[in-house]
Amino acid sequence: MIEKLLESIPKTNPFGEKVTLVAAVKLQTPENINRAIKAGITDIGDNHVQEFKDKFDLIEGNPRRHFIGHLQTNKIKYLVGKVDLYHSVDRLPLAEALSARSEMAGVTSDILLQINIGDEETKGGFSYGDAGDAYRRTKALPALRIKGLMAMLPLSSDEETLSALARKMRGLYESLMDENFEYLSMGMSGDYELCINAGSNLIRLGTAIFGERNYEKGK
């Protein structure tokens, strides 16, 4: 099943950029995650610091580690030096704290700025209008490297609207792009195809890989 999915995902987007798949592993057991890695998953992304910590030593195959969930500043210390890419830098105090902690640890952390492209109250992220300012202020921090942008599209079945938002994100990505930019992280199980078509090159899939999540069994 994972092999089929991996085969079905386009290798490149219309801009000729390689498309990378991150498995969103929230609520999955280490056994499930390790099975997915054996089947070809190279990158995994956690939402919860506690789960990340609990599972860290149980994951086999040395995948690239992403953090994709909302991050509280007082939990940063558990992640620094262990995460290859932070997708969800969604506010300046978080960027500042992550830079400070990274500096203390002697590392540079790779991050994406999260943009609330649908302007949704329920979602974090910088507004489209604040993105330029957020980029400049974050860029000035010593121990972070901005590798691009991340967005979550609204839940909607209106593909036209979603595609327009995804293209707007690609436009923002290109307008801010500098020599460090590499990733536009956009696309989940329900919308990844249209996101890739609009120019995403990093997709985060949970359900498409593992099936429906069981929130009752999880923690």
Ligand X SMILES: *Cc1c(COP(=O)(O)O)cnc(C)c1O
Q: Residue 216 gets which letter from DSSP? A: T
Shortest distance, position 208 Cβ to ligand X, whole Å: 6
Q: How far is CA 21 from the centre of its chain?
A: 10
CB contact at 8 A, 80 and 216: no
Q: Please state, in angstroms and rounded to a whole number, the distance separating the CA atoms of residues 168 and 131.
A: 13
Task: Decide: is 196 part of the binding site for ligand X (CB under 6 A).
Answer: no
Using rule CB under 6 A, residue 41 touches ligand X: no
Selected binder of ligand X within 9, 30, 56, 69 (CB under 6 A):
69
**Least spacing, CB of residue 83 vs ligand X, in Å:** 14
Of these, 6, 9, 26, 30, which contacts ligand X (CB under 6 A)? 26
Does position 188 interact with ligand X (CB under 6 A)? The reply is yes
The whole-angstrom separation of Cα 191 and Cα 169 is: 14
CB of 21 closer than 8 Å to CB of 6: yes
Does 94 contact ligand X by CB under 6 A? no
Stretch that binds ligand X, among 33-41, 105-113, 170-178, 199-207 (CB under 6 A): 199-207
Nearer to ligand X by Cβ, of 139 and 213: the residue is: 213
- Positive or negative, the CA dihedral 87, 91, 92, 94 is negative
- Beta strand extents in the chain (DSSP E only): 20-24, 43-46, 64-67, 85-89, 109-115, 144-151, 183-186, 202-205
Instruction: Using the minimum distance from each CB to ligand X, give the nearer residue, 24 or 79.
Output: 24
CA 87/CA 68 separation, integer angstroms: 5
Strand locations in 139-190, DSSP E? 144-151, 183-186
Regarding 154 and contact with ligand X (CB under 6 A), the answer is: no
- With CB under 6 A as the contact rule, the residue among 47, 99, 102, 200 that binds ligand X is 47
Task: Please tell me whether residue 208 binds ligand X under the rule CB under 6 A.
Answer: yes
| 71 lies in the site for ligand X, by CB under 6 A | no
Could you say which of 24, 89, 111, 202 contacts ligand X (CB under 6 A)?
A: 24
- Residue 12 interacting with ligand X (CB under 6 A): no
Q: Which residues bind ligand X (CB under 6 A)?
A: 24, 26, 47, 68-69, 188-190, 204-208
